[in-house]
Amino acid sequence: MVNDTKKDSLRVLTHPPEAPVAGVDGCPAGWVAVRWGPAGLDSVIAPDWPTLAELLSNARAICVDMPIGLTDAGPRDCDRAARRVLPKGKGSSVFPAPRRYMLGRGWPDASDAGRRRGDGGLSIQAFHIMAKIAQLDAALAPGDQERVLESHPEAAFHRLNGGAPLPRKRRTAGRDTRMALLRAAGVPEPEALLRRHPRRAAGADDLLDAAVCAVVARDKLAGRALRVPDGEPPRDARGLRMEIWY
Task: Write out pLDDT tens, residues 84-126.
Answer: 999 887 877 898 999 999 999 999 999 999 999 999 999 998 9
Instruction: State pLDDT tens for residues 13-25.
Output: 677 898 999 999 9
Rounded to the nearest integer, the mean pLDDT of the chain is 92
Q: In whole angstroms, what is the distance from residue 94 CA to residue 23 CA?
A: 18
**pLDDT for res 91:** 77
197 located within any domain? yes
Residue-level pLDDT at 13 = 64
How many Cα atoms occupy the beta-carbon half-sphere of 182 within 13 Å? 29
Hey, is 31 helix, strand or coil? Answer: strand
Cα gap 170→190, rounded to integer Å: 16
Burial of 237 (0-12, 13-18, 19+ CB in 10 A): exposed
- The amino acid present at 44, given as its one-letter code, is V
Confidence at residue 10, expressed as pLDDT on a 0 to 100 scale = 43
Give me the count of residues in the chain: 246
Confidence of residue 220 (pLDDT cuts 50, 70, 90): very high
Q: What percent of the chain has pLDDT over 90?
A: 87
pLDDT at 12: 57
Residue 59's identity, in one-letter code, is: A
Beta strands in 5-164 (DSSP E): 21-27, 30-37, 40-46, 61-64, 148-150
Task: Specify if 198 maps to a domain.
Answer: yes
Flag whether 81 is in a domain: yes
Task: Report, as an integer, the average pLDDT of 139-168.
Answer: 96
Is there a domain that residue 180 lies in? yes
N-terminal to C-terminal alpha carbon distance within the chain = 13
List the beta strands (DSSP E) in the chain. 21-27, 30-37, 40-46, 61-64, 148-150, 227-228, 244-245
| pLDDT for res 3 | 38
Q: Which SS3 state, helix, strand or coil, does residue 199 take?
A: coil
Contact 61/91 with Cβ under 8 angstroms? no
Residue 117 lies in a domain: no
Phi/psi region, residue 112 (left: phi>0; alpha: psi -120 to 50; beta: rest), is alpha
Could you give the angle at the alpha carbon of 156 between the alpha carbons of 28 and 185, nearest 5°? 105
Question: pLDDT tens-digit profile of 231-246?
Answer: 999 999 999 999 999 9
- Whether the predicted pLDDT of 8 surpasses 70: no
Read off the CATH number of the domain in which 55 is found: 3.30.420
CA dist., res. 114 & res. 136, Å (int): 21
Cβ(23)–Cβ(214) below 8 Å: yes
pLDDT digits (tens, 9 = 90+) for 180-198: 999 999 999 999 999 999 9
Give residue 218's pLDDT band: very low, low, confident or very high (50, 70, 90).
very high
Within-domain flag for 178: yes
Q: Could you report the per-residue pLDDT of 55-94, keeping only the tens digit for each? A: 999 999 999 999 999 999 999 999 999 999 998 878 778 9
Give dist(CA 24, CA 138) in Å, integer. 17
pLDDT at 14: 72
Please name the helix (run of DSSP H) or strand (run of DSSP E) that holds residue 227, with its range, or none.
Answer: strand 227-228
Burial class of residue 5 (count of CB atoms within 10 Å of its CB; 0-12, 13-18, 19+): exposed
Count up the domains in the chain and report the number: 1
Q: Which residues have CB under 8 Å from 84's CB, separation 6+?
A: 91
In a domain, 124, yes or no: no
**Domain of 47, in residue numbers:** 6-94+130-245
Domain contains 11: yes
